[in-house]
């Protein structure tokens, strides 16, 4: 006699991009040390990694996988620097947020 085995499982398909919950601006004093976090990106999804979009003034900044934005070196002159942060969730969905940092 044949044995029939049935399995039931569910699949969740994630097609929703993370949504940024952090502000679009930040302020920092001139000559703030480069190791200082000047902005922290936040989304509605905990399993997100962050990168910087190429172009604009991206070369002035670094960002950690957890969203901590820092200058590569201390900024000595007043000005506004703009960078676009990309959030990527575990399913590969992405969202972008442009942030302006005033020195």
Among candidate residues 28, 25, 14, 37, the one with its CA nearest the CA of residue 97: 25
- Please state the pTM of the whole predicted model: 0.83
Cα dihedral: 64, 67, 88, 61 (round 10): -60
**Per-domain residue ranges for the chain?**
25-102
Predicted confidence (pLDDT) per residue in 45-96, tens digit:
778 999 999 987 899 999 998 899 999 999 999 999 999 999 999 999 999 9
Q: Which fold has domain 25-102?
A: Immunoglobulin-like (2.60.40)
Among candidate residues 86, 87, 82, the one with its CA nearest the CA of residue 61: 82
CA dist., res. 63 & res. 84, Å (int): 11
């Amino acid at each position: 006699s044949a044995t029939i085995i049935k399995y039931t499982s569910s699949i969740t398909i994630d097609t929703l991009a993370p949504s940024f919950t952090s502000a679009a601006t930040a302020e920092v004093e001139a000559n703030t040390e480069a190791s200082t976090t000047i902005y922290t990106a936040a989304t509605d999804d905990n399993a997100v990694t962050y990168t910087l979009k190429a172009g604009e003034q991206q070369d002035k900044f670094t960002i950690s996988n957890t969203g901590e934005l820092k200058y590569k070196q201390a900024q000595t002159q007043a000005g506004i620097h703009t960078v676009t942060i990309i959030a990527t969730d575990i399913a590969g969905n992405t969202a972008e947020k442009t942030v302006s940092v005033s020195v």
